[in-house]
Amino acid sequence: MSSARIDKELEQFRDMMDVPDTFEDGFNWSSLVGALFVAMLMVPGAIYMQLLAGVGVGQAAQWVTVILFLEVARRAHKNLTKAELFVLFYMAGAVMMLKNQGLLWNQFFVQSRAATGMGFADQIPRWWAPSDPDVLAQRSFFHPAWYAAVGVSIFHLVMGRINSTILSYGLFRIASDLERLPFPMAPVGAQGIMALAEQQEEESQRGRRDTEDRGNWRWRVFSIGGILGLGFGAIYMAVPAITSALFDEPITFIPIPFVDWTTKTSSVLPAVATGMSLNLGQLVMGMVLPYFAMLGSFIGLVLMAIGNAFFLYPNGLLPSWQTSDETVATLYHNLFDFYFSFGMGIAIAIAIAGFWQVGVGIRKRKREQQRKERLALESGESITDDNDYTGPPPGRGDMPTSLTVGSYIFTSLSYVLLSGYLIDWHPRVMGVLVFFAFLYTPLISYVTARLEGLAGQVVQIPLVKEAAFILSGYRGGVDIWFLPLPMAQYGRRTVFYRQAELTGTKFWSVWKAELILVPIVMLATILFGQFIWSLAPIPGPQYPYAERMWELNAAQQSLVFTSTLGRYSPFEEAFNPRYLGAGALFGLVIFFVLYFLRLPIMLIYGILRGLNNTLPHVILPQFIGACIGRFYFQRRMGLKWRQYIPVVAAGFTCGMGLITVLAVGINFLKKAVIQSPF
C-alpha cells in the first residue's frame, strides 16, 4: 500500500472523468465567429459590471456563446463535437480575460487620492499613464498623450499571451506526462462541456429506448442553474444597470457589493470588518469549492476577528482604527498598522509549506517506486518504472520541446530589453529583470503546476518583486513599479491543458485559436474601454463597486511604491520586520501542526489564507454554501452531488450573465442616444 497520504475529498475530484482515447481538432470558422460575438457583445457588459458590482460575466459569456452556437448548429442539423465546444468555450473565455481594469485603472490611479497624498502622482511615467489634468479631463485613449501607454499595454498583452500559452504547456508536459499528477480540479471545468455534448447526443438519439441511460442529466441540471441565474440576475444586476442610465445613481434592491455591518458591531468587535455579500453566486460557488477549503477559510476568519478584537486592538497594535470606520477604512487601517507585515509573513509561510509539500511528494514517489522495484526483485518479475516517459499520447497535437523553450527565451528577452530601455539600463535593475525572466518565473511556475496537479492549490512567494527592487538600490522614483516585467505565475494554466485533454481536444486547435484571439483582444480592450470611459468619470456614482473599493486598492499599492522615492515613506512605517517574522512563524506552526494531525490539506491552506486581513463578506456566503452542499445535498445524493453542482454553477453563471448583458445593452443604448448631438 502506498505510503502517500490520501485526501479523500481530492479523490472524489480525481475520479470525475477519464482521458479519452482519441483527440479531435476543435478549431473552425465558427470558433472565430464566436470570439467576435463575445468581443462585440459581451466584453462591454463585462467591463461595466466589473465597475458596477465587482463581478464580471466571464463564464456567463462563455456559456451564452456556446449555447447560442449550439442552437445555430441544431437548426443546421449539425452536432458540435466536444473539441469544438471546448475551443469555442475557451476562445470566449480568453476574450473575457480583458474585462479587468487595464487602462481604466491606470487613468484612475494616476489621479487617485493615494498617489497624490503620498507625493508621487507626478512621477508616474507617461508610458504607463499621462498625468496632465487637461489630458485626463478629455477621457480619451485616442489622445496622443496616451499612445505610449497603449503601446506598452499591447506589448504586455501579446508577450504575456505567448508566455502563458507556451510555458504553461511545457509545465503541463512535466506535471502530467512525466510525473503523472491527477489535477483534481480540472474535471470541474470540463463538466459543463460534457453536459452540452451529451444534450446533443440525447437529441440525436431521441426515440431510442436507451436514451435515458446516456447520461443526459447534465443538461437538465444546467437548465435548473440557468433559471436560478436569470431570476437572481434580474434583481441583483439588471435593475441597477438599467436604472443607472435613467438616474444619477442606480436603484439597488440588494446592496452592492455587500452589506456593511462594521459600524454597528464596532462596540462588540472593535477593529473587525463585518458584513456579507448577498450575491447568490457566492453561495453557489461555496457549494462548488471543496468543503474543507471553505471551512478552513471560515476558521481563519474567526481567528482573525478574535485576534483583532481581543488582542491586537486592546494592546495598541491597531492604533489607526476608529469606531466610525466602515469596512474599507477598517481594512486599510488594519493593513497599515499590522497586516501589511503580518500578512507577508503568512504568505511566506504558505510559500515555504508549498515548497516543502512538493519536496515531500517527490520523495514519497521515489520511495514508492523503490518499494515496487524491491517487490519485483523478490518475486522475480521484471522491474517497471511508473515514471518511465513514453512520450505524449498519440494524436494530442503536441509541439517540440525546442519550440517551447525557444519561444519562452524570445519573449523573456523582449521583456528584459523593453524594460531596460524604459528604466535607462540601470545595471542592478537589469540584473533583477534577468532574475525574474530566467530563474524566478520558471521556478515558481513549476512549483505551482505541481501543486495544482497534486491538490488543486497554488503557491505564491510574497515580497519577491518588492525585495528585489528595494535591494537593487534604485531610488529614482516610482517608474520601476510600472515596468512590463517578465514575472508571472504560469503554473495555474496547466489545469486548462488538462481540461483540453479530458475533452479530447487537440492542443494545436487551441494554439490556432490564440493567433486569432490576440488582435481581437487588443481592439476590444481599447475600443470598449474608451467608450465606457467617455460615458462618465470612472469611478463615480454610477459604479458603486469601483467608487468604494478602488481607492483602497490604490492605497495598498501606494504604500509599497513609496519605498523607492529616496526619502522617508509610508512603506517604512507600515513595514515591521517583527510582525513579518511573527506571521511567518505563526503560519508555519499552524501548517505543520495541522499537517501532522493528518487534517485535509485544503483545510490547512484555507485557515492560513483566512488569517490575512481577509474580507469576510465573501467568505461567509461561500462557507454557508459549502455547509448546505455537504450536510444536505451530499447526504441526500451521495457522491453524485460532486458531479451535479459544477454543472448547476455553470448554468447559474450563464443565466445571470445573459440577463446582465441584456440590461447593460439597454444601458449603453440609452446613454448613447442621450449623448447624440442630433
User: What is the reported pLDDT for 457?
Assistant: 60
Q: Report angle CA 620, 622, 624 to the nearest 5 degrees.
A: 70
From CA 527, how far away is CA 523, in angstroms rounded?
6
Q: Is the pLDDT of residue 165 over 70?
A: yes
Q: Is the pLDDT of residue 41 over 80?
A: no
The fraction of the chain above a pLDDT of 90, given in percent, is: 6
User: What is the reported pLDDT for 460?
Assistant: 63
User: What is the reported pLDDT for 416?
Assistant: 92
456 or 53: which leads in pLDDT: 53
pLDDT tens-digit map of 323-355: 888 888 888 788 878 887 888 788 778 778 767
451 Cβ contact list (under 8 Å, min separation 6):
354, 357, 358, 457, 458, 459, 491
Burial grade of 375 (CB within 10 A; 0-12, 13-18, 19 or more): exposed
User: What is the reported pLDDT for 628?
Assistant: 92
Q: Is the pLDDT of residue 624 over 90?
A: yes
User: What is the reported pLDDT for 410?
Assistant: 92
Over residues 200-213, the mean pLDDT reads 53
124 within 8 A of 478, measured Cβ to Cβ: yes
Average pLDDT, the chain: 78
DSSP, res 383: P
The highest-confidence range among 176-180, 197-201, 305-309, 659-663, by mean pLDDT, is 305-309
Residue 491 binned pLDDT confidence (cut-offs 50, 70, 90): confident
- Give how far the C-alpha of residue 5 lies from the chain's centroid of Cα atoms, to the nearest Å: 28
> C-alpha dihedral over 506, 510, 511, 512, to 10 degrees?
100
198 or 315: which leads in pLDDT: 315
Place of cell 462563455: 62
pLDDT tens-digit map of 224-278: 888 898 899 888 878 887 887 777 677 888 887 788 899 889 889 998 989 888 8
Sequence spans of domains, the chain: 18-380+392-675
C-alpha cell at 616: 469576510
Residue 212 binned pLDDT confidence (cut-offs 50, 70, 90): very low
Residue 5 binned pLDDT confidence (cut-offs 50, 70, 90): very low
Q: Is the pLDDT of residue 2 over 70?
A: no
CA-based torsion, 565, 569, 571, 576: positive or negative = positive
155 within 8 A of 419, measured Cβ to Cβ: no
488 or 60: which leads in pLDDT: 488
Lowest mean pLDDT among 86-90, 598-602, 610-614, 673-677: 673-677
Lowest mean pLDDT among 190-194, 251-255, 326-330, 493-497: 190-194
Q: Which residues pair with 505 in a beta bridge?
A: 24
From CA 479, how far away is CA 102, in angstroms rounded?
17
SS3 (DSSP) at 101 = coil
Q: Give the type of residue at 421.
A: Y
Place of cell 475600443: 527
User: What is the reported pLDDT for 538?
Assistant: 84
User: What is the reported pLDDT for 502?
Assistant: 82
Q: Which residues pair with 626 in a beta bridge?
A: none
Q: What is the 3-state secondary structure (H, E, C) of 165-179?
A: HHHHHHHHHHHHHHC
Place of cell 465573501: 618
503 or 111: which leads in pLDDT: 111
pLDDT tens-digit map of 408-428: 899 999 999 999 999 888 888
Lowest mean pLDDT among 356-365, 402-411, 526-535, 597-606: 356-365
Residue 30 binned pLDDT confidence (cut-offs 50, 70, 90): confident
637 within 8 A of 629, measured Cβ to Cβ: no
159 Cβ contact list (under 8 Å, min separation 6):
411, 414, 415, 484
From CA 658, how far away is CA 441, in angstroms rounded?
38
Q: Report angle CA 283, 284, 287 to the nearest 5 degrees.
A: 95
User: What is the reported pLDDT for 97?
Assistant: 61
53 within 8 A of 256, measured Cβ to Cβ: yes
Place of cell 537593487: 472
pLDDT tens-digit map of 571-618: 667 778 888 888 889 888 988 888 888 888 778 877 877 777 677 888
Over residues 361-378, the mean pLDDT reads 72
pLDDT tens-digit map of 397-406: 888 888 888 8
C-alpha cell at 330: 477598517
pTM over 0.85: no
Q: What is the DSSP string of 44-91?
A: HHHHHHHHHHS---HHHHHHHHHHHHHHHHHHTT-PPPHHHHHHHHHH
Nearest to 613 by CA among 258, 344, 317: 344
User: What is the reported pLDDT for 209?
Assistant: 43
From CA 64, how far away is CA 74, in angstroms rounded?
15
Burial grade of 320 (CB within 10 A; 0-12, 13-18, 19 or more): middle
Residue 205 binned pLDDT confidence (cut-offs 50, 70, 90): low
User: What is the reported pLDDT for 210?
Assistant: 45
108 or 669: which leads in pLDDT: 108
Q: Is the pLDDT of residue 675 over 60?
A: no
Q: Is the pLDDT of residue 374 over 50?
A: yes
C-alpha cell at 321: 482604527
Over residues 207-215, the mean pLDDT reads 44
C-alpha cell at 422: 524604459
User: What is the reported pLDDT for 6?
Assistant: 43
Residue 365 binned pLDDT confidence (cut-offs 50, 70, 90): low
User: What is the reported pLDDT for 496?
Assistant: 83
Q: Is the pLDDT of residue 626 over 50?
A: yes
SS3 content of the chain, % helix, strand, coil (to 5): 70, 0, 30
198 or 173: which leads in pLDDT: 173
403 or 19: which leads in pLDDT: 403
9 Cβ contact list (under 8 Å, min separation 6):
290, 291, 292, 600, 602
Residue 10 binned pLDDT confidence (cut-offs 50, 70, 90): low
Q: Is the pLDDT of residue 633 over 50?
A: yes
- Give how far the C-alpha of residue 274 lies from the chain's centroid of Cα atoms, to the nearest Å: 24
551 or 381: which leads in pLDDT: 551
672 or 646: which leads in pLDDT: 646
Residue 392 binned pLDDT confidence (cut-offs 50, 70, 90): confident
Phi/psi at 260 (5° precision): -105, 115
